[in-house]
Structures are given as structure tokens and as C-alpha cells.
Structure 1
Amino acid sequence: MNSRTPSTAARFVTGSTMRHVIVMAGTGAIGLMAVFAVDLANLFYVSMLGDTSVAAAIGFAGTINFFHVAVSIGMSIGVSATVARLVGAGQRATARQVATASLIFMVLVTAVLTAATLAFLEPILDALGAAGETRVLTRLFLRITAPTLPLLAIGMCTAALMRSIGDARRAMTVTLTAAIVTAILDPLLIFGLHLGLTGAAISNVIARIALAFVGLYGVSRVNHLLGRLQVRRTWDDVRPVLKVALPAVLTNLATPVASAYVTHAMARFGSAAIAGQATIDRITPVAFALIYALTGAVGPIVAQNLGAGRADRIRETILNSLGFVLATVALAWLVLAFAQHGLIRAFSAHGVTAEIISTFCSWLVASYAFVGCLFVANATFNNLDRPLLSTLFNWGRTTLGTVPFVAVGIRHGPIGVLVGQAVGSAIFGLIAMIVAWIVVKRLPMGDCARLAQRHVEEPSSAVVSVPGAAAGNTVAPEMQ
């Protein structure tokens, strides 16, 4: 390996766990902030057109795209957790083989899902309650941007792979590139060439192309984490990933399902309410990028220490993560409370739209402390062989934690819808964190080591039976 190539040694089994959490979450947050800033920039520029139907179209399109992002995140969690465990156990050649097969499999899955979305777009828009000019604009935006969703999946998977080996800086660069491209192209296409919403869609497409290219370059040419695909062993390589990825996908799908239900509830109050929801849906991921990054940040730290049999460091990581959540939410709440009037002016909001933004920034933002607890709990469950618990709590929040609370809140208008959603999220986030701590507390050192060994035995045996498998270290890497 080139001396300039970052080492794939287990980086998280020594040193301060708080420092690892801060570095991984910080760099991951910058990358995530870049991804969500793309959507925020699109909404900001189209809001300047002064038409709430255009802003509402971005909201409906975002809800549909959210499903695809959830699938990609879930699969990336599986890839990251599996590769990190293998690296922690010192099985680098196997990690490279698993990463290659998983990335290709992920692209194929997202391509099929994209085709299905476009084929059933009209029924989907019916279910969301999109109508009139907003529906026409939503359809236009998605027909331009949806075909590039597999490129978004590549960017997310490659960034996750780099985080799994501790190369957080290059993982951040992947998504940062997309934000820079969008920041440059959005005003040029929307206003300079007078393309409006079509310009925002084209900018989105180009940003995803850049995202995929930078991610593949970082994985293949810099980290040498991908190798030549061994077709006969593809299923054996992907199978251990799916054991984590499938429950993680189910878990992550819960959030867009809840979002779709809330969007449907908001739709009865008109395009202004949808525009308000779309605005806070794009402000929060940027404001809480550190919280959103925790699942990807905590996961590799827990997984590597699991592979090394360090139960004590796993407990320490979870405690530090909770402290990190509380500090982050307190700071974000303070900033948003003081910045709310500026945000309302920036997005040309008025009436119901402005009321929604103000209420969220003043009070509802505090509920993200419990959302952060849920994210930490998910990372714990996914990496300690309890992925079904993540699925249980996320879907519990989507059903019991959303439907009845929103149904009550809807009687009090769009603000009631948001309050109901926040209350349900708080209840399930708190319960999930309590259960996660119980799981970690009952993890003796010996059990930790046996659990780690069980995870690495299957992918290890998959490579042992392949002739010439030991040459995996010298196979020319491909993309990431």
C-alpha cells in the first residue's frame, strides 16, 4: 500500500472516546450539513420566486426523496457496521471484498426503487395530497432528479465506508462537494438563466454526479478499500451486510412514513402550511447536523470496540454521546430562537408559513434532544446485534408516536400537527435510550468478545473458501 494511503487499522479502540465522538460527529456533520444544505439552498432560491406552490412542490418532492434516502442510509449502516467490525478484527482483505460487493448491490437496489417510484408517481402524489399547480411542479422536479438517486446512494455508501475506517475528513469532502456545486449553480440556473424550479432540479442532478465521483475516487484511489468484484462470492459477501442493513432500512423507512403522514395532514391546510413544513424540514437537518451525524459517528466506534472486545469503551462512548446530544441541542435552540425572524424574512414567509417557523424555533426545537437519544440508541442497537430493536422503536414512533398525537393535534391547526409529532417523538426517544443503556450495561467483556467473533466468522469464512483470496490486499481498488 502506498505510504500516503490512510491506514485501515482500528483507530477507535484506543484514545479518548469523547474525542472520537466529537471528531467523527463533527466531520460527519459538516458532510451531512452539506447534503441538507443542497435542499435548503434549493428551497431558499425558489422561495425568492414568491410562489408558495413552488416551495410546496419542493416539500412534496422532498418527502418522496426521503424514502430513497432512508433506504440508502439503512444499507450504508449495514456496510459501515460490517466493514468496521472486520477492520477491528484485523480482517482487511475481507473488509475490502465486502465493501465492493455491497456498493454494487446498493446501486442495483436503488436503481430498481427509482424506476418503481417513477412508474407509480401519480398514485404516490395522490396519497400525499398534492394537487393543482403544486402537483404539476412536483412531478416536473421529480422526473428530472429521480433518475440520479442511485448516484446519491453511491455518495452516501462511499462516505460511510470511509467513516468505517476512520477517514472522516475525506468522508466529509464527499458531501461537501455537492453543497459547493449547488451553491454555485442554483442562483446561476434559477435566476441567471431564468429556469426557476427546472434550474433547481438541474443543479440537483449535477451535484449528485459530483457527489458520486468524489466518493468513488476517495474510496478507490486514496483508501484502496474496494477491489475487483468476485461475482461467485457476491451473495456471501453481501449476506452479512444485509443482516444489519435490512433491519436498518426498515428502521429508517419509519421516518419518511411519519413525514408522509404529517405532510398529508398539513396538506388540508393549504400550500402555505406545506411550505412552512418544508422550510423547517430543511432548516432542522442543517441546524442539527451534529445530531443527525451521530448514528454514523457512534456506529464505527462501537463496532470497532466490539471487534476488539472492549465493552468498557462501548459504555463510555454511549455516555459521551448523550452528553454531546444535550449540549448540541441547547446551542441550536439558542441560535434558532434568536435567528427566527431573520429566517422568516430570508424565506419570504408570511401568515401560516411564518407562524410555523416561529413556533418551531421558539419551542419545538427542544424535542430534538429526544430525537438525538433515538439516534444514539439506533447506533447502539445496530452495532450490538440488536437491529430489530431499532426497527421496533422507529416504527413505534411512526405509528403509536405519530398517528394518535397528530390526529389530536390536527384539531388545533398546523401548529397542533407539529406539537403532536414532537410529543410522540420525545416519548419514544426517551424509552429507546433507556433500553439501549440496559443493553450496553449488560454487556460483559467476555460476551462482547464472543459477539464480535460471531460477527466476523461468517464474512471470514466467505473469503477463506475462495481460491487466491489472500491476494485481496493487492487487488486494484475500485471506487469509494
Structure 2
Amino acid sequence: MRHVVVMAGTGAIGLMAVFLVDLLNFLYISHLHDPTLTAAIAFATSLSFVQSAVSLGMSIGLGASTGRLIGACRSHRARRQASAFLVVMVGVTLLLGCTTAFFAHPLLALLGAHGGALEHGTSFLHIVSPALPLICLGMALSSLLRAVGDAKRAMRVTLTGAICTAILDPLLIFGLHMGLEGAAISTVLSRCMISLSGFLNLRGYNMLEWPRRRMIPISCQDIGKIALPAIATNMATPIGNLFVTRSMSRFGLEAVSGQAVVDRMVPVAFAFVFALTGSVGPIMAQNLGARQPARVRETFLAALKLTALCVALAWAIFAAGHNIILQAFHVQGAGIALVKLFCCWVVASYMFIGLLFVSNTAFNNLGHPLYSTGFNWGRATLGTIPFVAIGAHYGPQGVMIGQALGVVVFGSLAMVAALSVIGNLEKKYSS
């Protein structure tokens, strides 16, 4: 439990700092009193989440594979493999970022954006998307720091970008009157700082070398076994959210803006839960490499207990402070009912999202990555589309409730499956 708390806690501080700055960014834009700007961020972020899923999936694969090699006392192999795979990560994310920027206008229109929201969202993605390799590098280097057990330095990587954005956002948005364009430029500069900080903090661990060309296909094969299913797994949630955003757009920009407020609060409130997925993975991988399945189970159960505690605390805070949230973000029209519904009731469903995320981490690091892919896509399709489609007949609140009900089913099933996988490992190593 102590190991999980330290690794996840430091990771959560870094994540919370990043997401808090993103929340402040949205808060600053909302104070411009232009609903097209807040809706533009909501639509653009829906696509950015898909990009982040690819980056996160590759980082998960890198961290899990490296952690397993370190646990098996093969640090030399881990260094060569990690260095070669970073080249692949940069190439893939550069292609993805530029492609998204090129097709930004039709993609946003497909999500239901129109008028000023469409134009502002397109401009935002034109600036931010090509810088995707920078944030991917930051994620990867932070993952390597967690793989070698240095949670504090991994936290510093994300904190650096958060501090940079916190300083530049108000300066560019209000001081230079650049509005949404200022927020986009601030995001790019922050990504530069995250990437630079990652390299500086990893210097003392001898985990990087000049990439060897012959190691690139080998690293792709070894890490890709984990990374590709992890990407597919992480893609499910943002793609499911695209359907939710499209459904919510039928009820106007105020409903989309209200959903955007919720989407910005969730990562801050549940940063600890999200950090668990990146933090307990290397712990499980190292103990698997050391043939200690009992410690794998202990890590998994500790993560579930911490998830329950985090959700209970967040529920109490949101329920007590929902009126303050409405006033701070100038929520209007249909968005008011959405924010109230989330703060008082729907927030409880994140316990099951936590179950799903922690279970997926277990699958990815214990040799069953396709399980996590199946559960995440099940949640994004069978657990989202029919529930949201039915809920849409009852208005924007029905959309939110439908999305919450789907995750209850798949989160519970994923937890049962993860416990079964761990149980099989215990039988294997005890025989």
C-alpha cells in the first residue's frame, strides 16, 4: 500500500497540476462571456483526447516493458529498447498531429460544431495538434522515471509544464488579448517545457542512449505487444466521448459547454485515480518479473481501496460546492442542470470507471492486454451508444445518465476478470 500511495500520489500531484491548469484555462475563456469559445474548446478537446490516447498507450507499453526488464535485472536491454522506441513514438505522433490539424474543420463539423465554435475550434487545433510529439515525449520520459522507481522526478516533469501554462495563460489570454489563440500558444509552450524537463530529470539514470537503427524493429515488436493493445484500449474512451459530444450538440452550445465544465473538473478531481493506472503498472510488471504474484494481488487491491476513497471524497466536495461551480464558470441554460446532476449523483459512477482503469492496468502488465482492449471497447460501444441513444430522448441529462449506467456494467465485469487473471498467476507460480 505504501509503494502504491507514493507512486500514485506523486503522479497525481503532477497530473492534477496539469489538469488544474487546463481547468483554469477553460475558466479564463469562460470569463470572456462568449459561448462559442467555450464550445470550441469542448469540441477541440474531444479530438485532442483521441491524440492523447495514442500517446498514453505508447507510454504505457514503454513503461511496462521497461519495468519488466528492470525487474528481471536486464537494465542494459531496457536502455537500448527505450531509446529506440522513442524514435517511433515521435514519428507516429508527428504524423497523427499534422493529420488532425489538416482535417480539423471537417472533423469538428462531424461532431456537430458550427458557426463561431467551428471556426475557433479549427484555429485552436491548427496551433496545438502539430505539437503532439512534445507531450508524447514528456509522457514517455515520465513513464521511464516511474519504471526506475523515481516518482518525484516523474512528478517534476508534469509540474514544469503546469507551472509554465499557469503563468502564460492569463498573460496571453487577458494581458495580450489573444483569447483562444493565446490559450493554444500557451499549450504548445507548455509541451516544450514538459519535454525538456523529461530529458533533464532522466539524465542521471543512464536509461537513454543514441538510438540504434537495428533496435527500432526489435523495440517495436517487444513494446508493441503491450503498446498496440494499450492504444486500442485508451482510444475507446475518447471515441465513446465523441459520440456523447455529438449527441449533446443536438441540445445547443450551452449543453456542450456544460458538459465541457464537467469534462474539465473530472481529471482534477480524479487525478489520483488516473495516476494509479500509470503508477501501479510498473509495480505489477516488476513483481511479475520477480515472480511475486501475491504482491501483484496486493497492489491491485490497494489500488481499488484508494479508488473508493478518492471517489467518496470527490462526491462530498462536488455535492457541497455545485453552486460555486455554476457561478465560477458562468454556466447557462441547459448546462446548469447538467452540472448539478453530475455534482450530486453521476460523480458516483467514477468508482466503476476507476475499477475499469485499474483492471485495464492489470491486464496490460500481466500479459493479457487484449482483455483491456475488449472491456474498454465494450464500454465505449455497447456501454455507451445504446445507453446514450436512449437517454437522448429525455434531453441532455438523459445523455449523461446513459453514459454513467454503461460504465457501471463494464467496470464491474472488468474487476472480476482482473481478479481471475491474478488468481491464475498465483496458481501458476505456486505449482
* TM-score over 0.5 (shorter chain): yes
Equivalent runs, 1:61-460 vs 2, <5 Å? 61-219=44-202, 221-444=203-426, 446-447=428-429
C-alpha distance in 2 between matches for 1:409 and 1:444? 43
Partner of 2:8: 25
Residue ranges of structure 2 left out of the alignment (5+ in a row): none
Normalised by the length of structure 1, the TM-score is 0.88
Partners of 2:222 and 2:383 in 1: how far apart?
Answer: 31
Deviations 1:433-453 (A, max 9, x none): 01100111121365489xxxx
Structure 1 residue 168 displacement after superposition: 0.7
Higher relative contact order, structure no. (Cα contacts within 8 Å, ≥ 6 residues apart): 1
* Secondary structure, aligned partner of 2:215: helix
What's the CA shift string for 1:251-283, capped at 9, x where partnerless? 000011011000000011111011011111010
1:5 corresponds to: none
Does the 8 Å CA contact 1:306/1:448 hold for their aligned counterparts?
A: no
Per the TM alignment, residue 39 of structure 1 is displaced from its structure 2 partner at its CA by: 2.0
Is the Cα–Cα contact under 8 Å of residues 310 and 448 in structure 1 kept in the other structure? no
Report the AA paired with residue 336 of structure 1.
F
Check whether the contact 1:312–1:445 (CA below 8 A) recurs between aligned residues: no
Query: SS at the partner of 1:225?
Result: coil
Task: Write the distance in 1 (CA, Å) between the matches of 2:326 and 2:146.
Answer: 36
Counterpart amino acid of residue 422 in structure 1: A
SS of residue in 1 equivalent to 2:297: helix
The two structures, once aligned, show a CA RMSD in angstroms of 1.2
Closer/same/farther in 2, CA of residues 48 and 125 from structure 1, 3 Å limit:
same
Secondary structure of 1:230's partner? coil
Kindly, what percent of the aligned residue pairs are identical? 51
Deviations 1:125-145 (A, max 9, x none): 122111011001001111111
For residues 45-64 of structure 1, the aligned pairs below 5 Å read 45-64=28-47
Q: How far is the alpha carbon of 1:34 from its aligned partner?
A: 2.1
Q: CA deviation at 1:356?
A: 1.2
For residues 419 and 448 of structure 1, the distance between their equivalents in structure 2, rounded to whole angstroms, comes to 44
- What do the CA deviations read for 1:285-330 (whole angstroms, capped 9, x no partner)? 0000011111111101100000000011111111111111111110
CA apart distance, 1:222 = 2.7
Aligned-pair distance for 1:210? 0.6
- Equivalent AA in structure 2 for residue 64 of structure 1: L
Q: Contact 1:310/1:445 (CA < 8 Å) preserved in 2? A: no
Residue 434 of structure 1 aligns with an amino acid whose one-letter code is V
Q: CA deviation at 1:114?
A: 1.2
2-structure distance, mates of 1:68, 1:34: 20
Following TM superposition, by how much is the alpha carbon of 1:225 offset from its aligned partner in structure 2, in angstroms?
Answer: 1.1
Letter in 1 for 2:93: T
Residue identity opposite 2:133 in structure 1:
P
CA distance in 1, matches of 2:8, 2:171: 32
Q: Is the 8 A contact 1:152 1:212 kept in 2?
A: yes
Greater C-alpha radius of gyration? 1
Indicate if the aligned counterparts of 1:309 and 1:445 stay in contact, CA closer than 8 A: no
Amino acid at match of 1:352: A
Aligned counterparts of 2:86 and 2:339: Cα–Cα separation in 1: 38
Identify, as 1 or 2, the structure richer in helix: 2
Aligned to 2:251, the other structure's residue is in SS state coil
CA distance in 1, matches of 2:408, 2:79: 39
In the alignment, the residues of structure 2 paired with residue 215 and residue 284 of structure 1 have an alpha-carbon distance, to the nearest angstrom, of 26
Normalised to the residue count of structure 2, the TM-score between the two structures is: 0.98
* Alpha-carbon distance in 2 for matches of 1:193, 1:277: 29
Letter in 2 for 1:192: G
Q: Find the aligned partners of 1:197 and 1:446 in 2 and give their Cα distance.
A: 55
Asked if structure 2 preserves the Cα contact closer than 8 Å seen for 1:41 and 1:182, the reply is: no
Whole-Å Cα distance in 1 between the matches of residues 38 and 195 of structure 2?
Answer: 27
Q: State how far apart, in whole Å, the 2-side matches of 1:64 and 1:231 are.
A: 33
Distance 2:367 2:273 in 1: 22
Which residue identity does 2:166 align to in structure 1?
A: A
Quote the Cα distance in structure 2 between the aligned partners of 1:110 and 1:356: 34
- Counterpart of 1:475 in structure 2 is none
1:97-117 Cα distance to aligned partner (Å, 9 max, x none): 111111111011000111211
Q: Distance in 1 between matches of 2:251 and 2:260?
A: 14
Partner SS for 2:5: helix
Instruction: Using the TM superposition, give the Cα deviation of residue 237 of structure 1 relative to its aligned residue in structure 2, in angstroms.
Output: 2.3
Local SS of the residue matching 1:238: helix
Equivalences, count: 431
**Aligned partner of residue 348 in structure 1, secondary structure:** coil
C-alpha separation in 1, matches of 2:34 and 2:28? 11
Q: Distance in 2 between matches of 1:110 and 1:37?
A: 24
Runs of 5+ in structure 1 lacking a partner? Answer: 1-17, 450-480
Letter in 2 for 1:439: V
